[in-house]
Every structure is written in C-alpha cells, then in structure tokens.
Amino acid sequence: MNQTKMTIRDLNLWYGDFQALHGMDLEIPENEVTAFIGPSGCGKSTFIKTLNRMNDLVQGCRIEGNVQLDGENIYSHRYDVNNLRKRVGMVFQQPNPFPKSIYDNIAYGPRTHGIRDKQQLDQIVEESLKKAAIWDEVKDHLDRNALSISGGQQQRICIARALAIQPEVLLMDEPTSALDPISTAKIEELVTQLKEDYTIVMVTHNMQQASRVSDKTAFFLNGYIVEHGDTRKIFTNPEHEQTENYISGRFG
C-alpha cells in the first residue's frame, strides 16, 4: 500500500452564490494514478484545479476546507502558491504551448525557478522531453515554434514542460480529449510509465481510459464524490447505483 500524498478534507467551493463542490473527502496515494470520472458539469475539473489552487485565478471563487500536500495545508495563508505549483504540475485539456520555441517552452519553468545555467537547462530539456516520449521526434528542431507541430505532439510538449520543474504530483485535466486515437494511446502509455516517479491525478470523460490507466477512481456527480476506491472494484462492483448506471452508460 502506497503512502498518501494528498489529503482533501471537507472541501466546499462556490462560484459566487453557486456551490460547485460539496464536502469533498479524498486521499490521493503516492505513485499511483487516480482518475476522476463523471458526467459534464459534475465538478471534477473544478476539483482538480483546487489541488494546485488554479481556482485562485477565477473571479468570485471561494473555497472552504482543507487540502494537504504531505500533511501541510496548501490553503494556509503562509503557503507560497508558486512553490505549490512547482510541486504540483498541471497539464490542460487543450494543448497550450507558449508561442515560443520548443526549447524555450520546456526551459520556461526551470528558468522561472531560477535556473540560468545553459548546460543545466540543456540537460533538463533533454530529460523532460525523453520522459514525455517526444525527444526522438523533436530533438533535431528544438528551435522550432511549438505551435508548428501537431496537436498530439504539442500535448506531449506540455507534459514535458510540466515535468521540467520536477513536480511531485502531476494533474491532468482531460489531457487526451482534444487528441486523435493514436496520440491518445501514446499519452496513456506515457501515464503508466510516469507513475513510477510521480503521483498522477487525471480527469477523464473516457471510462475505458480510466479503467486502463488508473489505480484509483473517484466518481463525481453534481458536485459530490459519490464513490471512490480501487479502479477495479469501481468498475466491476460499484457500491452505488448511480455509479453503476454511469459506468454502464445509462447516462452522462
């Protein structure tokens, strides 16, 4: 049994007067893949963004409760958000590389955190691209604009970019929903490799994807976590009827 990396206790979230998340309780184990599933608008994307405080950027968003990373509350006043995001990296639904060269995209994070040495940066860029399984495809044109490559490659560049700051947790918000099947397969394979070194949290619409790559699954509905546990158990023998209905494709 792996150790718990993040613990969420009684988390509530409002957008203005609308409560989007209700009393969330969850543990995220280290070096495993945790998948969030549920129909659109169930709060899974909102919830994943609370784990690196991206919701801070949303106007009118208010959060109560407790999210711990290695036992420390990330919502405490003294907690440094930028440092949190260095430890908890994120990959978004739409590939969003900067309109800069591939090299500068990967080096952006390390540079942000004070690494200026060219040799060291070269090394980080290479390692990150290798970990994201895209080094062979781009190593000969690192100076090309990252927007000029295909969508699937862009998404792996974004993963490499997130890995370059050496995070402990990697959040992935529907990372394959904008990609073709081949790119999706590559990224799924990548996720299984990456869990050796990282704790991964992944939002997905695709139930096959969740069952293929995740160890733990949490099922969301209307801003509540209905059920969570081992992926195998959730998919074969769910406790709640709603979970079963969703998994068997009766709604959503």
Q: Are the beta carbons of 187 and 134 closer than 8 angstroms?
A: no
Q: Contact between 155 and another protein (CB under 8 A)?
A: no
Q: Contact between 131 and another protein (CB under 8 A)?
A: no
Q: Are the beta carbons of 65 and 10 closer than 8 angstroms?
A: yes
Q: How far is the CB of 198 from another protein (least distance, A)?
A: 15
Which residue stretch of 2-10, 20-28, 71-79, 84-92 sits at the interface with another protein (rule: CB under 8 A)?
84-92
> In the set 45, 50, 52, 128, which binds another protein (CB under 8 A)?
52
Q: How far is the CB of 167 from another protein (least distance, A)?
A: 9
Query: In this structure, how many other beta carbons lie within 10 angstroms of the beta carbon of residue 186?
Result: 19
> In the set 1, 18, 57, 118, which binds another protein (CB under 8 A)?
57
Both tokens of 50, joined, read 């609370």
> In the set 113, 139, 232, 240, which binds another protein (CB under 8 A)?
113
Q: Contact between 61 and another protein (CB under 8 A)?
A: no
Question: Residue 58 is which amino acid?
Answer: V
Dihedral, 85, 82, 98, 91 alpha carbons, nearest 10: 10
Q: How far is the CB of 59 from another protein (least distance, A)?
A: 5
Q: Are the beta carbons of 39 and 222 closer than 8 angstroms?
A: no
Q: Residues near 176 by Cβ (< 8 Å), separated by ≥ 6?
A: 155, 183, 184, 187, 188, 204, 206, 209
Q: Residues near 187 by Cβ (< 8 Å), separated by ≥ 6?
A: 152, 155, 156, 159, 175, 176, 179
Residues forming beta bridges with residue 224, ordered by sequence position: 221
Q: Contact between 54 and another protein (CB under 8 A)?
A: yes
> In the set 24, 74, 84, 221, which binds another protein (CB under 8 A)?
84
Q: Contact between 148 and another protein (CB under 8 A)?
A: no
Q: Contact between 85 and another protein (CB under 8 A)?
A: yes
> In the set 38, 43, 97, 175, which binds another protein (CB under 8 A)?
97
Q: Are the beta carbons of 138 and 106 closer than 8 angstroms?
A: no
According to DSSP H, which parts of 10-61 are helical?
44-50
Both tokens of 84, joined, read 């949190």
> In the set 63, 115, 133, 147, which binds another protein (CB under 8 A)?
147
Q: What are phi and psi of 43, to 5 degrees?
A: 105, 0
Q: Contact between 165 and another protein (CB under 8 A)?
A: yes
Q: How far is the CB of 176 from another protein (least distance, A)?
A: 16
Closest CB to another protein among residues 112, 237: 112
Q: Contact between 98 and another protein (CB under 8 A)?
A: yes
Q: How far is the CB of 80 from another protein (least distance, A)?
A: 8
Question: Residue 209 is which amino acid?
Answer: Q
Residues that bind another protein (CB under 8 A): 52, 54, 57, 59, 80, 82-86, 89-90, 92, 94, 96-100, 108-109, 112-113, 147, 158, 161-162, 165
